[in-house]
Amino acid sequence: MSGTFPAVREQWRLRPRQGAKRDLLSLHDLTVEEMEHLLRLAAEVKANPGAFRHALQGRSLALVFEKPSLRTRVTFEVGMAQLGGHAVYLAPADVGLGRRESVRDVARNLGRWVQGIVVRTFGQKILEEMAAAAPVPVINALTDLLHPCQALADLLTLQQHRGRLQGLRLAYVGDGNNVAHSLLHAAARAGMHLTVASPSGYEPDAAILAQALEVAPTTGAILRVIHDPTEAVRDADAVYTDVWTSMGQESESEQRRRVFASYQVNADLMKRAKPDALFLHCLPAHRGEEVTDEVLDGPHSVVLDQAENRLYVAKAVLLALLDEVTA
């Protein structure tokens, strides 16, 4: 694909299904083809950034963040600027979703000023309430349940390092959290073979797994949830982990360290995967807990590529959604 963005704009929009806009609250909202489109668009943005530099000129984006952020905030804010638009960051004290002002009122007010809203919050229901009330697209920048933009960046990273996603074997070792949930949605649509290894009681949500399993037969994906990390990583093309204690779970940190102690991704565990297996982590990492320095900083680690690819995914999502909105 070449030339300026307007020449391909029609091709890459995410079409409204019901109503006048599309949101990205979950990868489960996307068809297989739509997720493939976003990945192709992200790859094109990465390869030809100049072709998109005026695509969202005159448009504004609100970043409503109830949780701290490095990669998500910077990539959406920088991405919007590089597309010719403008982003406004709103910290917890600025908005106070559901406390200082109702979620519905925040959404309706923002919809009068901006062409898109990126939300990083705790409950998925807060995000859904925001999307229901906002007249402009709402994008999930992380909730306790899901992290869809991260999973898209993960797939983009795997695709660029391995040349394919179909049939790729990915092992996720650790907490069945929001990252694991979105990886299940993503792997099902990409035709990947994903094995999640979590301690008993910390497995992914059963409803999320059921959603992913509904899609898996259409792409040939194989999805498993087990308890043995050694079995999970056997012959894996890539090994993924995340922190054992997510934001909002700090009171459980000591208990989780004990429960997850045998789930650390270290050199010994990586030896059970393929010799050239990649290591992934969404960051930030708790070094010495879920992963050792030897693995995180090792030659097979692609964590910085993942972080970089968050930018191209953010830009692809913004292009696909905000282009429908009149500035």
Give the residue extent of every domain in the chain. 5-146+309-322, 148-307
Q: 271-319 pLDDT, tens per residue?
A: 999 999 999 999 999 999 999 999 999 999 999 999 999 999 999 999 9
CATH C-level class of 148-307: alpha beta
User: Catalytic residue among 37, 169, 193, 310, which?
Assistant: 310
CA atoms within 13 A on the CB side of 208: 26
Count CB atoms within 10 A of the CB of residue 165.
21
310 catalytically annotated:
yes
Write out the E strands in 104-261: 116-120, 138-140, 169-173, 193-197, 222-226, 238-241
User: Catalytic residue among 71, 120, 169, 189, which?
Assistant: 120
37 catalytically annotated:
no
User: Catalytic residue among 147, 181, 256, 281, which?
Assistant: 147
CATH topology match: 5-146+309-322 vs 148-307: yes
150 catalytically annotated:
yes
Looking at residue 92, its pLDDT comes to 86
Is 60 exceeded by the pLDDT of residue 5? no
**Whether domain 5-146+309-322 has CATH 3.40.50.1370:** yes
Q: 33-79 pLDDT, tens per residue?
A: 999 999 999 999 999 999 999 999 999 999 999 998 999 999 999 99
149 catalytically annotated:
no
**CA-to-CA dists, residue 32 to 23, 29, 158, angstroms:** 16, 10, 17
